[in-house]
Amino acid sequence: MDFSYTDEQDAFRRELRAWLEENAPDGWLEDPELPDDDAERVEFLRDWQRTLADDGWAGVHWPEEYGGRGASLIEQAIYREEMARINAPPQINLIGINLIAPTLIEVGTEEQKRRFLPSIRSAEEIWCQGYSEPEAGSDVASLSTSAEPNGDGEWIINGQKIWTSYAHVADWCFLVARTDDSGKKHEGLTVFLVEMDQDEISTEPIHQPHDDRTFNQVYFDDAVASEDLVVGEIDQGWDVVMTLSAFEHGSTSIYTIEQRYLDLLEYCRTETRNGTPLIERDRVRQQLADFDARIQAAKATHLRNVSEQMETGTPGPEGSMDLLVSDELRNDLLNFAVNLQGPAAALWENGHNAFDETSGYIRSYGAWIAAGTGDIQRNIIGERVLGLPKDIKSETSHRSE
């Protein structure tokens, strides 16, 4: 594998870097900080994504015919690296951009693509993902939310979802529901596009220890989705679920983690203990070197997976390696950063916690579960990458559980 960039890829990086220098939100490059107020933060992030979309920097990996830039997977990796380099504001419609839109492009109807993709790019319509349920955990196939046809071209949805990111601001939900419970648990599922502005849908925040309200519980009480909002085939939703999951697992955060590492490295160079810079301590140097080695290995693994995907045309199960490695690395890195600060780490607002490690460390446990726990990812790697025998539970009948 050739790790060097082509002239075209270098030009893509220079163009993006120049655009960011000119168009990043006022003052962001000097002092990146989001508004504290929830409503103001949402509007700020909508404006940011709209700015990206207006100049073709949102959905860069989508085909040009659907408003994307048609960027290659390598250019997409460069895009993520450059966004991490300036600690760019997050895209509020990240789920829509990176997960739902690629899935619709892959398996949605032409009408669904034309209807939804433009508003996903511009964040005019924000999306959430209705997968996890209280009694199912990371095992999506064990869900119990149901959908039944009413005979008038509509489906009636009842049930509850949990850990639903952005549901409190979402306009649409990419929801999987059970439409037939007569077979194995992976059978009889259907994916619906559900409009959130219905009296029959309610959300409750899950307040997190770091004061964010990202997660929600969502209740569906006779909510409605018309039959033209079914993605894929009725009762064949597991294939759609797997398509989206493949995109989700391949959305690596390794470049953000690397930037966190570089910020921490600079902190260790400048912060002193008893007059000596932290970086001159043997234990600190050894730990930083270990993190650097793990980050470079994770980046190489990601690029190898990207290379594989460029040959096959579709994301494979190898993305679970990216997800698993990144989650563990992020947690270890932030744990080390918190320990370095000692008691000062508790002062995460207006204190000495320059890189927000404490709240990031707490958030990292949520990221560890999102898109499937570490055990789920290990099962995928074992079964679908290494060819090991299937987990016995995955073949159990839904009705017998």
Residues noted as catalytic: 248
Task: Let me know how long the chain is.
Answer: 401
Question: CB-based burial of residue 114 (10 Å sphere; 0-12 exposed, 13-18 middle, 19+ buried)?
Answer: exposed
Sign of the torsion formed by the C-alpha atoms of 216, 195, 159 and 223: positive
Spatial distance between the Cα atoms of 215 and 268, rounded to a whole number of angstroms: 33
Spatial distance between the Cα atoms of 106 and 84, rounded to a whole number of angstroms: 27
Judge contact between 193 and 225, C-beta under 8 A.
yes
Which residues does 261 contact at the CB level (< 8 Å), separation at least 6?
Answer: 288, 291, 292, 295, 333
Spatial distance between the Cα atoms of 289 and 279, rounded to a whole number of angstroms: 11
Within 10 angstroms of residue 234's Cβ, the number of other Cβ atoms is 16
259 closest CA partner among 394, 80, 383 = 80
Judge contact between 398 and 183, C-beta under 8 A.
yes
Helix (H) or strand (E) holding 105: helix 101-107
Within 10 angstroms of residue 46's Cβ, the number of other Cβ atoms is 18
Q: What are phi and psi of 207, to 5 degrees?
A: -75, 130
Structure tokens at 111: 């009408």
Q: What are phi and psi of 342, to 5 degrees?
A: 65, -145
Judge contact between 57 and 21, C-beta under 8 A.
no
